Chains A and B, each alone.
Chain A
Amino acid sequence: MDFFQILSDIEKVDADVYARFDTRRRVFKHMGGLGKKITAATLPAVLSTMFTKAYGQTTALPQIIVDTLNLALSLEYLEFYFYSQGVTSGLFTGNDLNAITIIRDDEQGHINALKGVLQSAAIADPTALAYDYTAGGNLTPFASPAMFLATSQGFVDTGVRAYKGGAVNLMGNKDILTAALNIHSVEARHSSHIRSMRRGYSTGVANTNGTTIAGLDGGGAGDALPKSWLSLQENGGPKPTKTVANTAGPAGGPLTAAVYAAGTDATKYPADDNVMQSTVNVQSNTTPPTGLTVTAAAASEAFDEPLDAAAVKAIARNFITALGVSKGLFS
């Protein structure tokens, strides 16, 4: 084993290797001092210790990563307690109860995984008491399956946009970035399924077949009959306060338009009807499949848009109690 060759090889792919060990000079000094004691048998152990110190997580995560993951964790808790109440609410049976249970468990897994990354930097469990799913008495998400699912869609679509916006903050740690991406796509799968369920419930049919009703055939932008993907600005979103399917819902309260609107910086975080990707207008750029036309709706559907942390927090702050405020949730 040629230690110096190893270091040299590492330097080719990691120019900072010497800085990680301290400084180049001190590495060599260190090695020199140890030279007499190092034998072929002990060298691997010495190296192991050095590499653990150099590359292991002995130092705190960068603040930007901590902040990004803790916002994600806050959203996961919000969703987890929401679906937990959905499971026990008695609103759902059969396939629908299974779906809500699967999603609840997914959020539990995400919470555990995020806590594992953050370790002591993780926020404390805010508990269910920190969240107010009525948004100050304006919503009744547990009054009906349709109300629950409409509220759920707002949460999950916010979550997908939040992870997408936060990803760039994690680029300094490729493993953490990969983990966040692997959560992000699961949230998108949830959104797809919740939307399928809503298509079923919007017709008043107990949903075992939300994927086979003709609800998709509306030309896009459905708020009550959403596609499984985001079309334009979703006609303002599910509006759980009062929808076509739920005329008995309460009026007022926060609407869901912000979930699909532009973020704080509309250039970096455009609204979901955006068709400009990089410098390309993806509607006019596309040669459509035979017999089809690329509509603005289709062009917007093909890309989901990110949302910045400030805009995400502004949406989420509608759903915390005084206790949540005191814990600094979404502040």
Chain B
Amino acid sequence: MPTTFPSDASSRPATSDQPLLTPIKRRSFFMYAGATAGATALVLAGCSKSDSSPGTTDVGSGDFGVLNYAYALEQLEAAFYAQVLAGSYFTNLPAGSAEKQIFTDLALHEKIHADFLKTALGTNAIKALTPDFSSITFSDRLSVLNAAQAFEDLGVQAYNGAGRYITSADYLTLAGKIVSVEARHAALIRDLISYNSFVGPVTGATVTSNAVIDPSLTSATARMEQSKSPTVVLATANMFLAPGSKLTANSFM
């Protein structure tokens, strides 16, 4: 895993049509960075961007920053489900049971997402993160389900909230291809915990105020997913990341 490449590099491809697998060459990046250092400083003058705190990893800026943000969350989910599969809640499930199939699928989907983003980002990818799942009891069904719900809802809220920062149409579509799968996961996990809470929680047919959607029928965001900014998402994600793997998204504040 290349970790020497500056992860907060302004490393967006020159054009949106550039293939995803064509990272900017390291040498040409530094030429670019040198030529435009002054301009970059000006652009960022209005932001309160600070250097990453020691031990934290910033996801970077531009489209690669958004993709790294996604990669970080997918790493977290993939690591979580891998650990679910090794835990006694899962291993004690009867063969052929729906929950066994569901968690097998989820583990596969999230690993597919994480490995895809890693390959797509190439040398621009952030490092492999070390999770901290000490707050989760992998022998306990409800503990596993609650954590899964938190991760899946967080994933949906994160992708939805980050869409506005993407400048390439191709990357936006890729994010869209992933987020609806996360939403399918989230709804099913919610239904497993409390049936019919796929956009909830609900009381009967009434969506309650702490639902994942805006329960209003008439507001400007009526019945829409309540997406979250990277800052809010990472505050939650960092609770499941070990010291040294905590994340920031200083360019998306």
Contact = CB atoms under 8 A, between A and B. Distances in A.
B217 A105 contact: yes
A217 interface: yes
B222 interface: yes
A168 B111 contact: no
Contacts of B100: 217
A278 B111 contact: no
Nearest to B101: A216
Contacts of B182: 185
Nearest to B170: A278
Interface in B208-222: 212-214, 216-222
A292 interface: yes
Contact of B196 (A12, A99, A306): A99
A208 interface: yes
Contacts of B222: 108-110, 112-113
The interface residues of chain B, by DSSP majority, are classed as: helix
Nearest to B99: A212
Interface in A86-105: 95, 97-99, 101-102, 105
Interface of B: 19-21, 42-43, 45-46, 78, 81-82, 85-86, 96-102, 104-105, 107-109, 111-113, 115-116, 119-120, 156, 159-161, 163-164, 166-167, 169-170, 172-174, 176-188, 191-192, 195-196, 198-200, 202, 204-205, 207, 212-214, 216-227
A301 B85 contact: no
A109 B199 CA distance: 13
B126 to A, nearest CB: 18
Interface range for A? 35 or more
Contacts of B104: 292
Contacts of A95: 195-196
B20 A302 contact: no
Interface stretch (A26-34, A130-138, A173-181): A173-181
A229 interface: yes
Interface string A152-184: 000000001001100110010011011101111
Interface string A222-243: 0000011100000000000000
19 contacts: A12-B43, A97-B205, A108-B223, A112-B217, A113-B223, A167-B173, A178-B164, A185-B180, A186-B183, A192-B188, A196-B187, A210-B191, A280-B116, A286-B115, A294-B112, A301-B109, A302-B108, A302-B181, A304-B176
Nearest to A277: B116
A294 B112 CA distance: 8
A106 B218 CA distance: 11
A289 B191 contact: no
A239 to B, nearest CB: 21
B205 A101 contact: yes
The main secondary structure of chain A at its interface with chain B is helix
Contacts of A184: 160, 176, 179-180
A185 B112 contact: no
Nearest to B188: A228
A105 B219 CA distance: 13
Given A105-B205, A229-B185, A278 B198 contact: no
A278 B19 contact: yes
Contact of B119 (A163, A229, A285): A285
Contacts of B119: 280, 285
Contacts of A147: none
B159 to A, nearest CB: 8
A56 interface: no
A185 B180 CA distance: 5
Nearest to A227: B105
A298 interface: yes
Contact of B191 (A191, A193, A229): A193
B116 A192 contact: no
A290 B220 contact: no
A116 interface: yes
A279 B81 CA distance: 26
A79 interface: no
A144 interface: no
A289 B78 CA distance: 9
A242 B172 CA distance: 37
A181 B108 contact: no
Nearest to A9: B46
Contact of A294 (B42, B101, B108): B108
B202 A304 contact: no
B163 A279 contact: no
Interface in A53-94: none
A288 interface: yes
B193 to A, nearest CB: 10
B198 A190 contact: yes
Leading 9 A-B pairs by shortest Cβ distance: A109-B223, A109-B222, A192-B187, A188-B183, A182-B224, A188-B180, A101-B205, A189-B187, A174-B164
Contacts of B227: 178, 181-182
A10 B213 CA distance: 34
A211 B181 CA distance: 17
Given A98-B202, A177-B163, A304-B180, 6 more contacts: A109-B223, A168-B169, A191-B184, A216-B101, A228-B188, A298-B109
A191 B81 CA distance: 23
